[in-house]
A and B are shown apart, each in its own frame.
Chain A
Amino acid sequence: MPDDDQSLLERRADSAAPPHVPPQPLVLRINGAEHRLAVEPRVTLLDALREVLHLTGTKKGCDRGQCGACTVLVDGQRINACLTLAVMHDGREITTVEGLAREGEPHPMQQAFMDCDAFQCGYCTPGQVCSAVALLDEVKARQASMLTEGDQLAPGALSEDEIRERMSGNLCRCGAYPNIVKAIHHVVLRQAS
């Protein structure tokens, strides 16, 4: 190969090579415990949880914010951990499915999922449960959804249509939806009474 072509190839290889970005130190507060870690900025919160901290309760489904399997709570709000970078959450309070139980007792939402048989394969369940736990706080705060008529959600029980709308970011390929809605409805009713 002539020298000129060789140098052209090298130049192309150079320009195509990804820039080296070293891992950055950060502190993630997860389920009440501080975790010091170092990850490249491109690492998503989901990958940091699963691959670095080995908190594998949070699941990777689509990795594109479409399925909700990776739902976690950040400062009490549910988000898709796959569409956010770990470095963006330095110092934030993160709750994963591993952090829902209290003193060895399942969270009421986890118990309701078991009581209502609200799953089949279980892969989407951690995301469903985290999402539903956040939903409880949103209902308490009387946050409106697309279906809410007034300025705020009316106090009292939430309709099943409202639950379905509010849970539309969590897919279940087994189609356990009827029992998922039932489980959430149980907990909402208990909290309202």
Chain B
Amino acid sequence: MQSISYERARDVDHAIELARQPGTKFIGGGTNLLDLYKSGIERPLLLVDVSRLALAGIEELAGGGLRIGAMATNTAVATHPLVRRHYRLLSDALLNGATTQLRNMATVGGNLLQRTRCYYFTDPAFSHCNKREPGSGCDAIDGHQRIHAILGASPDCIATNPSDMSVALAALDAVVHLQGPDGARQVPIHDFHRLPEDRPQDDTVIKPGELITAVELPPSPFAQHAHYLKVRDRASYAFALVSVAVGLALDGDVVRDLRIVLGGVAHKPWRATAAEDALRGQALSALDDALLDKAGAAAVSGARPYPHNAFKVALAQRAVARALRTAAGMTGGAA
């Protein structure tokens, strides 16, 4: 473990000024960064501590909606009365992730930047990982790919994004607020995380020296009918094999609009627009097993599984149908 310099930022401008030095990483909760530092995978020269910046607030926006400061902890967000009442999907996704100890440290900004849990990335004993060492190859493709991507992967990387929070944020049309040396900008969550393509080292579109300052949520039409379903190897404290965030906006009995976003299947939260299209405008009474199965199949259309993760295709398909049933308040049926 190499030595690291440390500076505590006084304010956002100070943080961005400090981050002009090469090899700088911002540290918020540190739960992912320090874990990877101990493996020698993250090798920062300077840590700029942003955990005490005045960015931990959670407040209602004037026109409805919610602004969540990037330094709000996962616990603070998940248990906030406004989040519980109006964005239950986000609370449930957060509480389905990690442990209380980790959620008390981990921040919203850090969660958005969480690195993959691909074992070939997190264990430097494996020498080929394009995400760790661009151009070195990918040991996962010919390895044990049980936890890996079935959608949107590339020949260079089949890793998945491990965040539960980001899946819910994608279903809630969140907007990520960034500030950097070139000023402030806003990036819709769907454009924030990247597919690996030939640059798997870049998980997101964040630029060097940019700091996440907040996440904003528009007023949610999905508050009444939403569900986060996480399928994993243990009942608690495990990453998703497959997860699904579903939100339904009903107009009487009709599904006026909806979101279906999958986690654990791709390098980013995977919005299943074809599945949404199959259900938009349908009456709730029309959501029978056949239609839900069709939506599930549409959600995984184009899937390219590997030998060890082929089970994820059927799993994701059924998880989508089950999450839809729960969100719609229906019970029973095949799951």
Partner-B contacts on A (CB < 8 A)? 18-21, 24, 40-42, 44, 63-65, 68, 71, 77-80, 83-85, 87-88, 131, 134-135, 138, 143-146, 151-152, 164-166, 168-169
Cβ-defined partner of B101 (8 Å) among A24, A71, A165? A71
Given A41-B47, A79-B105, A88-B49, residue A144 in contact with residue B6 (CB < 8 A):
no
Is the CB–CB distance between B99 and A68 below 8 Å? yes
Report the minimal beta-carbon distance from B297 to chain A, rounded to whole angstroms.
29
Known pairs A78-B101, A146-B236, A168-B237 / 14 extra A-B pairs, C-beta < 8 Å: A41-B4, A42-B3, A42-B37, A65-B35, A68-B99, A79-B104, A83-B30, A83-B105, A84-B29, A84-B34, A85-B6, A143-B75, A151-B81, A169-B237
Contacts of A135 in B (CB 8 A): 100
Q: Given B75, B92, B101, B235, which contacts A169 in the complex, CB threshold below 8 Å?
A: B101
B31 within 8 A of A: yes
Closest-CB distance, A66 to chain B (whole angstroms): 8
Docked complex: B65-114 residues within 8 A CB-CB of A: 75, 78-79, 81, 84-85, 91-92, 95-96, 98-102, 104-105
> Pick the contact of B1 from A42, A134, A168 — CB < 8 Å?
A42
Q: Are B30 and A19 in contact (CB under 8 A)?
A: no
- Cα-based distance from A144 to B91 in the complex (angstroms): 9
Q: Does B2 contact A (CB under 8 A)?
A: yes
Knowing A79-B105, A88-B49 touch, does A169 contact B99 (C-beta < 8 A)?
A: yes
Q: Is the CB of B6 within 8 A of A87?
A: yes
Scoring B75, B79, B96, B99 by chain A CB atoms within 10 A of each residue's CB, the highest score goes to: B99
- Assess whether B3 is in contact with A88, with CB atoms less than 8 Å apart: no
Tell yes or no: B331 within 8 A of A by CB. no
* A165, B27: Cα distance in complex, Å: 28
Q: Is the CB of A40 within 8 A of B105?
A: no
> In the assembly, what is the distance between CA of A166 and CA of B235, in Å?
12
Q: Is the CB of B100 within 8 A of A144?
A: no
B45 within 8 A of A: yes
Q: Can you report 16 A-B residue pairs in the complex whose CB atoms are below 8 A from each other?
A: A41-B5, A42-B3, A65-B31, A65-B101, A65-B102, A79-B101, A79-B105, A83-B30, A84-B29, A84-B30, A84-B31, A85-B6, A135-B100, A165-B235, A168-B99, A168-B237
Do A19 and B6 have beta carbons less than 8 Å apart?
no
Contacts of B49 in A (CB 8 A): 87-88
Q: In the bound complex, do residue B51 and residue A88 qualify as a contact, i.e. CB atoms below 8 Å apart?
A: yes
In the complex, the chain B residue whose C-beta lies closest to that of A135 is: B100
The CA-CA distance from A164 to B100 in the complex, in Å, is 12
Q: Does A77 lie within 8 Å of B104, measured CB to CB? A: yes
Q: Which residue of A lies closest to B1 (CB)?
A: A42
Query: Which partner residue on chain B sits nearest A148 by CB separation?
Result: B95
Instruction: Please name the residue on chain B nearest to A90 by beta carbon.
Output: B8
Tell me which residues across on chain A come within 8 A of B102, comparing CB atoms. Answer: 65, 80, 83, 169
A22 → chain B, closest Cβ, in Å? Answer: 9
Q: Considering only CB atoms, which chain A residue lies closest to B91 in the complex?
A: A144
The 6 closest A-B pairs by CB, nearest first: A169-B99, A41-B6, A168-B236, A18-B2, A21-B3, A146-B95
CB pair A77–B95 under 8 Å, yes or no, is: no
Q: Chain B residue with minimal CB distance to A81? A: B101
B207 at the interface (CB under 8 A from A): no
> Is the pair B34, A166 in contact by a Cβ cutoff of 8 Å?
no
By a CB distance below 8 angstroms, the chain A residues around B101 are: 65, 68, 71, 78-80, 131, 169
Give complex CA distance A21, B6 in Å. Answer: 9
Task: Report yes or no: A169 in contact with B5, Cβ–Cβ below 8 A.
Answer: no
Q: Judging by beta carbons under 8 Å apart, are B1 and A169 in contact? A: no
Known contacts A145-B95, A151-B81; is A19 also within 8 Å of B2 by CB? yes
In Å, the complex CA distance between A117 and B122 comes to 38
Most B CB within 10 A of own CB, among A42, A78, A87? A42
Cα A46 to Cα B94 in complex, Å, equals 26
Chain A residues positioned under 8 Å from B31 (CB to CB)? 65, 80, 83-84
Minimal Cβ-Cβ distance residue in A for B78: A144
Would B84 and A151 count as touching, CB distance under 8 A? yes
- The 8 A CB mask of B38-78 against A (1 = contact, 0 = none) is 10000001010101000000000000000000000001001
Q: Which residues of A contact B37 (CB under 8 A)?
A: 42
Closest A residue by C-beta to B44: A42
Shortest CB–CB separation between residue B3 and chain A, in angstroms?
4
- Please state if A44 and B34 are interface contacts (CB–CB under 8 Å): yes
Nearest A residue to B95 via CB reads A146
Q: Is the beta-carbon distance between B100 and A84 smaller than 8 angstroms?
A: no
Question: Do residues A151 and B85 form an inter-chain contact, with CB atoms below 8 A?
Answer: yes
| Nearest CB in chain A: distance from B75 CB, A | 7
Instruction: Tell me the bound Cα distance from A27 to B37 in angstroms.
Output: 24
Minimum CB–CB distance for B53 against chain A, Å? 13
Do the beta carbons of B236 and A164 come within 8 Å of each other?
yes
**Once bound together, how far apart are the Cα atoms of A152 and B51, in whole Å?**
27
A144–B79 contact, CB under 8 A?
yes
The chain B residue with its CB closest to the CB of A44 is B34
